[in-house]
A and B are shown apart, each in its own frame.
Chain A
Amino acid sequence: MVEHIGASEVTRVAVISCTDWQAVAAQCELYSRKQWFDAVAVLHAQRVVARTVYAAKQGVQIGMRRREAQAVCPDLHIAANNKERDRLMFESVVRAVGELVPLVEVSTPGVILLATRGPSRYVGGDDALAQRLHGITHNALALLADGRPIVFGVGIADGRLTALVAAHAADGGHLVVEPGESAQCLAQLPVSVLADFAEIDRDVVSLLHRLGLSCVGDIATMKPSDLVGRFGPVGLELHRLARGYDRHPPITIAPPPERASTHRFELSVEDVNVVVATARTVADELVTHLNNQGVSCVRLHICMQTDHGEQSDRLWYQPEGLTAAAMAERVRWQMDAWIATRGLTSGVVLLRYLPVGLRAREGRQLGLWGGSTQADEWAARAIERLTTMLGSDSVRVAQWRGGRDVSEVFALTPAAVVDMERRAESVVIKETVWSGALPTPSPSIVYDEPLLAVVNDASGCVVSVSGRHELSASPAHVVIGRHAYNVVSWAGPWPVEERWWDPLRQRRAVRMQMVLARDADDMVRTTTHAVVMVLEHGEWWMTARYG
């Protein structure tokens, strides 16, 4: 499986990248409400997913829990994850860059990609372009945050990966990697950049480490056939990335002309939902057509026109290939941004999909006897419809991850990105017993936001736990919110010690089970609740209930 790669097939791209954009977007939104916080962190599923530079300096790290983060940075402002906000806030930057370069690609909010060939000639070279882009972005961000510094970088290089790495390495400035030097530039970097910037699976990266391939350069020196032998198709992608090429080879055969799908609306449509619904049916046809040719679309150019000749162009990228639902979702995003920033003067009359990046489709062998039932088909269709209605983050499925906390054992991932036909493998519990996990049965109500509680002994003193995990006294009374309870029985305390080697992310806590009865109830029979209480940093929390 040897592949010949010509030098011409890698495109030179410029990347503008704002690190931890989610946190910056939250900060800017707060600022628009006349509040300014230096330390902002964005939480998703109880974990920090992004934080501002100031918060990072204080020691807030990605993956921390809320309380760990607040412990290292007491003045931290916590914001919820909001994809809508990320996109809308970023729109002003996209629009500013769009004044110079008409067609830009926004795969995730916070990162803009553009092909440099045209713009670079226009402004007079890569260096000049990097400077121009830096200036434009700087001004746009300054408007959002009133001149307060927001860290971003501009990188220009051959290939996506190198340009992204360059933008990060630029550290607030701009960095240009000369043509043909991408591979040398990457060679010295650790293989973890492949996971950070090229969406390679973390498991693969960890395996590379264990095989002794710790630098990207090591991969480049290997024979592609050996990599394919060990890793399968990913091996070839790794080899391409390590040599500075894009992950998927662009398809060189001229695609048939009918691959562009255009829909003309008979009457101009102003309702976003109607446009998205139509976009969905058009996307369905396009995806079926592409599937029949054995390809899927990784980069899509969506173009929309209004009655008055206004036009919106945007490129979208998804390394795994865009499904019809994903295409329709991109249309919704593009419409929303268009309406929010410019305000349309009339309805949409034309919608065009132009798949500009295609990759060979990984064939999937269906089960011999069909494999899926009528119920599976209906559910799959309903999932797609709900995803279009509510957005992919609102329709989720469970995937086994493992952990000591009941809230950690299963992670929720958008159903749209999961292969629903291979679901059964992903929910299998691989290791049943984690040392330190709660004994089964597990509580059926696990609070997303644990409730602060006060646990007192019979004399009214707060119950504490010593360094040797001994209770100061038997718990007797619990107050949660405005309700007071008596402790009927209890078990524990069971210690939880996680990541003791990491001073910032370590966690020490004790867990207890308690059976609580409502205080002074005039009912004939009192209700009892079994709950899980956690003592962490001197505070008691009710984290789960046997509902």
Chain B
Amino acid sequence: MSHSLPVAKALQPIIPDGVLVRGRTVLCSGDAAMSTALLAVSAATQAGSWLAIVGVSDFGLMSACEQGVALQRTVLVTPTANKKDWTSTVAAVADGFDVMMLEVPQGVSGSDARRIQTRIQARRNVLVLVETSRHATPRSVFQPDVVLHTQTTKWDGIEHGAGYVQGRHIDVTVSGRRVPRVMQYVLQHVG
């Protein structure tokens, strides 16, 4: 098993090491969290890894397809509302899928999060957490290795009554356990 999974070209300069290192947790937050998360997993799915999307509400399949996520290797899992079952569901997903995209529901405790992260490290998966601002959680219970905090600064192509959304400029702040110092990047992104 290789040590890492590939990542889309646009994210290579931004993500530490330029690849998704197996066993790590990546947190995407801010107003472009979903797009960044999709971009982060797309190259890996194209290279043959399977992606499980667990409990992510309002997921835009069309956008995922446009950003290069291989939908034939993507499975959407809806865990039950029960918190105890949530942990066992995630553990079962970790057994079979290289990449997991999670939206953490309210009420998941720190110890559950640690247990899942240990599992991820043991099974050599990659965990991508999505924090959409609609369900603003105060602070993640997970200890992410890489945090990609996004803020859109400019929308391209749309004007006062003309054009359409063609792309955006995103400020990405990179931090986390595996990042020696906080870095700022500008990502020009379509989607």
Contacts and interface: CB of A to CB of B under 8 A. Distances in A.
B50 A544 contact: no
B43 to A, nearest CB: 15
A474 B191 contact: no
Nearest to A394: B78
B17 interface: no
Contact of B63 (A376, A380, A429, A441): A441
Chain B residues touching A, majority SS: mixed
Interface in A434-493: 438-448, 471, 474, 488-491
B96 A546 contact: no
B50 A375 contact: yes
Interface stretch (B8-16, B108-116, B164-172, B177-185): B164-172
B92 A382 contact: yes
Contacts of B52: 382
Interface in B69-92: 71-80, 85, 88-89, 92
B118 interface: no
A260 interface: no
A143 interface: no
B160 A474 contact: yes
A385 B167 contact: no
A444 B89 contact: no
B57 A444 contact: no
A530 B165 contact: yes
Contacts of B121: none
B107 interface: no
Interface string A505-547: 0000000010100000000010111100000000000001011
B93 A382 contact: yes
Contacts of B133: 527
A395 B34 contact: no
Contact of B72 (A423, A445, A474, A530): A423
Contact of A376 (B50, B85, B155, B168): B50
B138 interface: no
B145 interface: no
Contact of B159 (A381, A383, A489, A546): A489
Classify the interface of chain A: helix, strand, loop or mixed.
mixed
Interface string A395-413: 1111000000010011010
Contacts of A490: 158, 160-161
Contacts of B32: 546-547
Interface string B31-64: 1111100100000000011101000011111111
A386 interface: yes
Contacts of B88: 389
Nearest to A380: B96
B49 A410 contact: no
Contacts of A35: none
Given A398-B71, A409-B61, A427-B65, A385 B48 contact: no
A378 interface: yes
15 contacts: A378-B96, A381-B95, A394-B79, A429-B65, A441-B63, A442-B66, A444-B35, A444-B63, A445-B60, A445-B134, A490-B161, A529-B31, A546-B35, A546-B165, A546-B168
Given A446-B62, A546-B32, 20 more contacts: A379-B50, A385-B92, A386-B77, A386-B92, A389-B92, A390-B77, A390-B79, A394-B80, A395-B75, A395-B76, A423-B72, A442-B191, A445-B132, A489-B158, A490-B160, A513-B165, A515-B155, A525-B151, A547-B32, A547-B34
Interface of A: 373, 375-376, 378-383, 385-386, 389-390, 393-398, 406, 409-410, 412, 415, 423-424, 426-427, 429, 438-448, 471, 474, 488-491, 513, 515, 525, 527-530, 544, 546-547
The 5 closest A-B pairs by CB, nearest first: A382-B96, A547-B34, A441-B191, A423-B72, A444-B63
